[in-house]
Structure 1
């Protein structure tokens, strides 16, 4: 952060060197802790971040995700004392009021909260992972496996981001999608750009937490209506993905460094700049340095 905040003083040979900034965090995280990602952008040749229109998008659909993974049968969800909705929130100081919404929603429906915020549920023994014996890679950590072990047994999972910035969609959304728990999303307005059609529930589609709770109760009592949110998984099982979602998955499969090196040599261009002319953001406000 010291370098980033004073990047204008950074010494390098501009004739033969390129400088890029990479971050998967939002500039608004921690009450603007990473604000320099916005204010110092002009000093970088390339930007790698979560925006779909950056030079190289850093998508949270990690290479190990398998979205063709079948969901548990509906009747097997919510068993052994589990509730209808799972939640994992441990940053209790997010500025987008997600915790406030969670507390209001909890008045009308049972939510098992495993995170530090509004904690009311501990991990079941059967879902735990041996952190010493389990050998996993840097991204697919024992914590990730433990979390997905839990949420696959719930009909719904709260996917509440810590910021509502455009394109900011993290593993909080993709984890339940992978294992077949319907995400209840709170965050960026353009979440539709990140998901198969009819695969999630958007908080913004409801006038109040009570209205959302009533709809979740309805789905809980109507298997056919609930399972319509998982129909996309049947298509995914045979490799049939929505075109946009397929593009996200493909971007996540290849290391961002490879994309960056090709980008520098003009051998690769972000497909969201080449094939998808987004109309919600003016070109001068896009994340890439030289769109």
Structure 2
């Protein structure tokens, strides 16, 4: 963890206390799940801010900062997993000057926190059997919101004119999942029954590769990806279809139809 030795240095006599001052999208940060090789203590108790070696602020919840006081020798950490297009504050120098450490999905950050799964995840994905593609619609889509900086809404709408898409998310919903919705487990099982899955980011930015493409890979389904221009640095070669490589949605649909009609090309 970058800068961990500096943080420890702020309180050399005991393991450093790290305070998560804000919520994470209005929910308490799950400090019980934190795994760190460096000894440390974690708290959500704002009353302990004077004890903290470092204070972490989730930038999308920046309004919760309020009148927080920065104590001498304390590190303030700006944390965000979101794209800068969605949260302009990340580029606001007046706001960001308060922070000593930047912790985001960008590889250039002081502390890099990508969506990239751990090695054990990839082993599990490779070990999973490929589920038969039984759904009539070749393409699955899970989308929860209408954010469209990437043009994903336009792509889905246009692609849907040329090939059938089952849309299970809150946005553009056309079908419900089978049985009880058990969250991620149900999502993966549903995607697995389709040949393709639209994995489209809400914004296009280098390094902004989220769980969308990894969900499809875990399901054993080919992702149709729209998003980070350097996505190939985050997934295996020949594991996805780059939607941006096609001149139009009709061209993309024609390629998908070719793969459906040519099993050996699809398997490749």
- Does TM, scored on the shorter chain, surpass 0.5? yes
Pair 1:202 & 2:260 matched? no
Between the aligned partners of 1:5 and 1:189, the Cα distance in structure 2 is: 32
Aligned to 1:145: 185
Structure 2, unmatched stretches of 5+, are 1-58
Residues 149 and 204, structure 2, Cα contact 8 Å, conserved in 1 = no
Aligned to 2:43: none
Between the aligned partners of 2:98 and 2:197, the Cα distance in structure 1 is: 40
Between the aligned partners of 2:64 and 2:211, the Cα distance in structure 1 is: 31
Between the aligned partners of 1:7 and 1:84, the Cα distance in structure 2 is: 46
Aligned to 2:217: 177
Of 53, 62, 84 in structure 1, the residue corresponding to residue 138 of structure 2 is 84
Q: 1:221 to 1:71 in 2, by over 3 A?
A: farther
Matched position secondary structure for 2:128: coil
Query: C-alpha offsets along residues 136-185 of structure 1, whole Å, 9 cap, x if unaligned?
Result: xxxxxx31111001111111100011111211111111111122111100
Aligned to 2:163: 109
Between the aligned partners of 2:60 and 2:255, the Cα distance in structure 1 is: 48
Question: 1:5, CA displacement in angstroms?
Answer: 6.1
Between the aligned partners of 1:223 and 1:199, the Cα distance in structure 2 is: 15
Query: C-alpha offsets along residues 210-237 of structure 1, whole Å, 9 cap, x if unaligned?
Result: 0100000000111111111xxxxxxxxx
Aligned to 1:119: 173
Question: 1:111, CA displacement in angstroms?
Answer: 0.7
Of 25, 32, 56 in structure 1, the residue corresponding to residue 111 of structure 2 is 56
Matched length: 205
Query: C-alpha offsets along residues 39-91 of structure 1, whole Å, 9 cap, x if unaligned?
Result: 13332111111112212222223457333233425xx20x2x44101001120
Pair 1:220 & 2:256 matched? no
Matched position secondary structure for 2:252: helix
TM-score normalised to the size of structure 2?
A: 0.70
Residues 184 and 201, structure 1, Cα contact 8 Å, conserved in 2 = yes
Structure 1, unmatched stretches of 5+, are 130-141, 229-291
Task: Give every structure 1 segment of 4 or more consecutive aligned residues whose post-TM-superposition deviation is greater than 3 Å.
Answer: 1-10, 61-65
Q: 1:18 to 1:197 in 2, by over 3 A?
A: same
Query: C-alpha offsets along residues 1-33 of structure 1, whole Å, 9 cap, x if unaligned?
Result: 69836979753134x21111111122322xxxx
Matched position secondary structure for 1:4: helix
Q: Higher strand fraction: Structure 1 or Structure 2? A: 2
Matched position secondary structure for 1:48: strand
Map 1:23-34 → 2, pairs under 5 A = 23-29=80-86, 34=87
Q: 1:41 to 1:4 in 2, by over 3 A?
A: same
Aligned to 1:45: 100
Aligned to 2:5: none
Aligned to 2:206: 166
Q: Alpha carbon RMSD of aligned pairs, Å?
A: 2.3
**Larger RCO, structure (CA 8 Å, separation 6 or more):** 1
Structure number with bigger Rg: 2
Between the aligned partners of 2:103 and 2:197, the Cα distance in structure 1 is: 29
Aligned to 1:100: 154
Map 1:267-278 → 2, pairs under 5 A = none
TM-score normalised to the size of structure 1?
A: 0.65
Between the aligned partners of 1:222 and 1:103, the Cα distance in structure 2 is: 25
